Structure 1
Amino acid sequence: MIVAFAATLLAGVALGGCAEGQDAGSSDQIVLAEGQDLGRFNPMLGYGQSGVSPIYDGLLAPAADGDDRVPDLVPALAASAPERIAPRTWRVPLKDGVTFSDGTAFDAGDVVATYRAVVDPKVASGISTDFAPIVTIESDGPQAITLTMNTEAHPALYLLLGIVPSERVEAAPAARWKLNTEPVGTGPYRLESLDPDQAVLVARDDRPEPPALRRIVYTHVPDDNSRAQLVQTGEVDGAGLPPRLADAFADRAGVDVAVVASADWRGVSLPARNAFAADPAARLAMNIGVDRDALVEDVLVGKGEPASTPIAEVYDNAFNAEAQFSHDRSRAVSILDDAGWRTGSDGVRVRNGVRASFPLLYNAGDTLRRDLAVAFAASMKKIGVEVLTRGTSWDEIDTKMDTAGALLGGGATPYSIDSQVYDALHTRVPGSSPYSNPGNFTAPGLDELLDTARKSAAGPENDERYRRIQQLYARQPSQVFLAFVHHTYVARGPGWKHDAPILEPHSHGVTWGPWWNLPSWTPTS
């Protein structure tokens, strides 16, 4: 971990927000303030897609003793690791005696139905491209599956998806599935109740080793400052907070601050229908003109790392230290001058009557994205580029990404470097998320190299391919990656012993941080 964090937490000291009938002082529950909307408990929509969920299990799950490396992927619903039985073909045996929370038995048919659904166009999952390397998946009797890949890569990277009962799969867009609000999984907890402002999970007693922590109460608190206030007053046991707000708890008695490394990036997408952003020289100049180190220190209060591409140093030999952008305002200015973007009377550059200007939209409820957007705009002003920042809803952002930039985040599946990089840098393919390279820009040869890397086995040769990918991207970037964000959490303690946090994906909140493995918690007394 980046900052030391005590491996104990207090559960059940909440003064408010508890489920009906629960004593506020109960020692077997925890109350957590969640910034995201409650519901959408559906793996098809990305819930638990990195193998961490109290409700669902994948065939494999991440495991590590800290956040300084990519986790190992170990059997969860799989009885053992995948076995290669033919070129690009693998067999995965499944555990016996596993049941879903509705009492039905888990078998190979559920795995096949889940994986076929996630790539079904009718389901419109939004994460289908993450599973493109899986060509076919079939039952091999009731307790095993076989899968064929279009790549030499090990399939473990694609086996973290939460498995749902085959009976719950619908031939309809996942956003309309009953599973969103009535989840059924094999995980250690089940949903007891769901309201717009509160979700209550309870431990399943039908498992061989039921969790010691009996109840999890998620309270919906979208405002960052309100979550901080609830932790301060003891009304909740913990919350995820932006770095600056979390820092305010650093010396607060009875409250621990956790800072967890992630491959979660923030960056600026660039609109295809904007003449300035569509100019490769302009995109290169913006990447050189932004001071990423200053953003990390000022906006993230040091809780992050500069990002030039989606590949962080944690990817070890695949990381290319020589393909990182260094801040050089003079060079950025020269690039724009040479490309014909000349400074106008108001300080904004112009070429052929077109201003070097574009809107930059961000989610109005996210103070970190707001601050990054404002800081980026300030950097751009110094090189003669006008960036007009505005907070709004995702509904509006989704409809304007071809004419406006957006302050985006990514890194939803960081335990696979292919998934971390492919959608972010490749030109758009059928089924791509609207947030995957929205401008659809690329560099010569980049798509071909990404495709080759995706189809190749891990090892030194593929590490070299990913280093070359970064090198090609740095010559003609498609967007402006800014920083890898370290996730910050505050929690009241002590009371429970738990595992150290692991390297986190983009999707964090209170499913992650100190609470990523609640079933393993044991009381300290």
Structure 2
Amino acid sequence: MRDDAEFTDGEPVTAEDVAYTFTTAAKEGGLTDVTSLRSAKAVDDDTVELTLVKPQSTFVNRLVSLGIVPEHAHGKDYAQKPVGSGPFTLVDWAKGEQLVVARNDDYYGEKSPFERIVFVFTDEDASLAAARTGEVHLAGLPASLATQEIPGMRLEAITSIDNRGLHFVTVPKEGRKSPAGLPIGNDVTADRAIRQAVNYAVDRQALVDGVLEGFGSPASGPVDNSPWFNPDSAIEDADVDRAEQLLADAGWADTDGDGVVEKGGLDAAFTLLYPAGDSLRQGLALSVVDQVKPAGIKITTEGVSWDEIYQRLHTDSVLFGWGSHDPYEMYSLYKSDLAGTDLLNAGYYSSKPVDRHLDAALAATDPDRANEEWKAAQLDAQGNGFTASADAAWAWLVNLEHTYFVDDCLDLGEPHIEPHGHGWPITASISQWSGAADGPASGRAQRPAAHPSLVRGGVLPFLVRSRLRRVVDARGRRRVRTRRRRVGLRLAHRACPLLVGCEVVVLLGLVVVRHRSTFPLGRPAVAGLAACVASYPLRGRAMPATVDRPGTMGAWTRDGPGSSRNGNVCCTALPG
């Protein structure tokens, strides 16, 4: 262990704290599964020894994902008032409204230039509105909203391992109940021919182009392009003829001419659920309905609450989102003895060959050997596997690129490959975020594009690394698509406002900059958010703030309304 890490209450991070954290997590459970831990022991001041019940190749990922808890500060209210050792400290958390963190100036690593960050929870429409009206600097939006142009903002499309797919209930109705007492079984999707036919009939590239607006790629499985992905498991899709043949070979036929094949008096029809309010999953679901219809399969979609999804996920298909940096997710989704455990293996899939490969991958002590077994679980030499050409336990549809509108004066640093929303989102590199370090405050309309000579000469004081996957024209249409990483510079010299030393407000990934000496944010609704915005003209009732000289962090002061002092005006009070 390093010897310069401290908790935010000033106490050092000790080996005893690490041992306590892992021991407690193993006993009490939580989002990070360390139940395979037998013991955690502090050997000396800077060494901790972890002993497992049995080998687990993925346990090393627990060392990254489990935050260390101070034993002296751990109590019943710790989840609401945590004490950590990271780059920020929790200031306030109003559930469902906002979360405020402040920079930890005692952090041992790279320190953020922003003193405070406020996360405000909104929906897609409110996020887009906030970006359009100039209230935010970073807007995380779905691909369907990413094709338009917002003046003063650039589009960033970041590679992810986040995917969308529909799970199938792979067992028939036999009156079984889950451990939670929920019904199990679907007589239609229990037929492998139905599951394979859906996989072959779906046109995944069309889903990428139409629903994702090109911001993504077709998905072969849950771990595409990872070190443990088996490329041999990929199929040639958009093949309705192949889907029809699979159904015919399995005894499905349209004997009554209604366009839906049937077998033994049972129509090839099932329900596909998606979370209401998720426009991307809705678009995917409706598109899949149209794509499989020519093969004679009828899918009915329903947008419902997550509460209802939990009640029906063992009888109806669900359009889920998954995607992790940890191959253990495959184990969670397909291991037979995890069936019915929360969202894990919700379709009650079971395969002895797949179970053997998954167990062998988890028990391997060599990473290369583990990857061989992870790949074999997808498709092995005997044709066994959970992927489309074998058991087709899921129909994986698309891999997403996460799309963000980012203010031209905000640099997000180097991007990470992002997972499905619970691990390393765009905020993973938040300590690297920075704003322009010099230049007068400027409204969006006043920001000129960078002169070509400035771009080539690299003389800009603040470079915006856009990493766009495509060029977007003035009407928001994609004209060029490339996988080559490039740098996009849209700012002229000294065009950026002063952002360093300000407060950042994040609305589901939306960023507003506010001067650090202003009034507390409180808990306003998004429409009435009071925020001090360095980069935009004053709106509403002004509360000016000045700085000794542009481009520095020295001696911030605050004057009342009507002040005649010159400087970088930073504050704006919006109505409400």
2:400 to 485, 488, 501: 485
- The AA in structure 2 aligned to 1:463 is N
Residue 100 of structure 1: how far off its partner (Å): 2.1
Residues 1:192 and 2:105 are matched in the alignment: no
Task: Decide whether the 8 Å contact of 1:198 with 1:219 is kept in 2.
Answer: yes
Are residues 276 and 233 of structure 1, via their aligned partners in 2, closer, same or farther at CA, if it must alter by over 3 Å?
same
In the other structure, the counterpart of 2:289 is 377
Identity %: 30
Residues 1:136 and 2:39 are matched in the alignment: yes
Task: Decide whether the 8 Å contact of 1:308 with 1:325 is kept in 2.
Answer: yes
1:391 to 297, 300, 303: 303
Task: Decide whether the 8 Å contact of 1:289 with 1:329 is kept in 2.
Answer: yes
In the other structure, the counterpart of 2:545 is none
In the other structure, the counterpart of 1:12 is none
Are residues 154 and 374 of structure 1, via their aligned partners in 2, closer, same or farther at CA, if it must alter by over 3 Å?
closer
Normalising by structure 2, we get a TM-score of: 0.66
In the other structure, the counterpart of 1:341 is 252
Moved more, 137-146 or 456-465: 456-465
5+ unaligned residues in a row in structure 1: which ranges? Answer: 1-93, 171-176
Task: Decide whether the 8 Å contact of 1:98 with 1:186 is kept in 2.
Answer: yes
Alpha-carbon distance in 2 for matches of 1:365, 1:181: 28
Are residues 500 and 451 of structure 1, via their aligned partners in 2, closer, same or farther at CA, if it must alter by over 3 Å?
same
1:426 to 332, 335, 345: 335
Residue 321 of structure 1: how far off its partner (Å): 2.2
Residue 400 of structure 1: how far off its partner (Å): 0.9
Q: Which has the higher contact order (CA 8 A, sep 6+)?
A: 1
In the other structure, the counterpart of 2:146 is 246
Are residues 101 and 459 of structure 1, via their aligned partners in 2, closer, same or farther at CA, if it must alter by over 3 Å?
closer
Alpha-carbon distance in 1 for matches of 2:49, 2:289: 50
In the other structure, the counterpart of 2:55 is 151
Residue 323 of structure 1: how far off its partner (Å): 1.3
In the other structure, the counterpart of 2:21 is 114
Task: Decide whether the 8 Å contact of 2:338 with 2:344 is kept in 1.
Answer: no
Normalising by structure 1, we get a TM-score of: 0.72
Report matched runs for 1:439-518 at 5 Å. Answer: 439-471=347-379, 472-474=385-387, 475-494=390-409, 496-507=410-421, 512-513=425-426, 515-518=427-430
CA distances 1:117-164 after superposition (whole Å, capped 9, x unpaired): 4443x54x2542xx4554433222343211234337475333112222
Moved more, 101-110 or 320-329: 101-110
Moved more, 141-150 or 187-196: 141-150
1:255 to 118, 143, 153: 153
In the other structure, the counterpart of 1:230 is 130
Alpha-carbon distance in 1 for matches of 2:243, 2:73: 54
Task: Decide whether the 8 Å contact of 1:427 with 1:437 is kept in 2.
Answer: yes
Task: Decide whether the 8 Å contact of 1:231 with 1:492 is kept in 2.
Answer: no
Report matched runs for 1:53-132 at 5 Å. Answer: 94-120=1-27, 122-123=28-29, 125-128=30-33, 131=34
Residue 260 of structure 1: how far off its partner (Å): 0.8
5+ unaligned residues in a row in structure 2: which ranges? Answer: 172-184, 380-384, 438-576
Alpha-carbon distance in 2 for matches of 1:478, 1:182: 42
Alpha-carbon distance in 1 for matches of 2:45, 2:37: 20
2:71 to 160, 166, 171: 166
Are residues 154 and 422 of structure 1, via their aligned partners in 2, closer, same or farther at CA, if it must alter by over 3 Å?
closer
Residues 1:312 and 2:224 are matched in the alignment: yes
Alpha-carbon distance in 2 for matches of 1:381, 1:242: 27
Alpha-carbon distance in 1 for matches of 2:69, 2:260: 54
* Other structure's SS at 1:447 match: helix
Residues 1:352 and 2:264 are matched in the alignment: yes
Quote the RMSD (CA, aligned, Å). 2.5
- The AA in structure 2 aligned to 1:143 is D
In the other structure, the counterpart of 1:220 is 121
Are residues 302 and 119 of structure 1, via their aligned partners in 2, closer, same or farther at CA, if it must alter by over 3 Å?
farther
Alpha-carbon distance in 1 for matches of 2:31, 2:70: 20
- Number of aligned residues: 410
Task: Decide whether the 8 Å contact of 1:113 with 1:169 is kept in 2.
Answer: no
Residue 490 of structure 1: how far off its partner (Å): 1.1
Residue 167 of structure 1: how far off its partner (Å): 5.0
Residue 346 of structure 1: how far off its partner (Å): 2.5
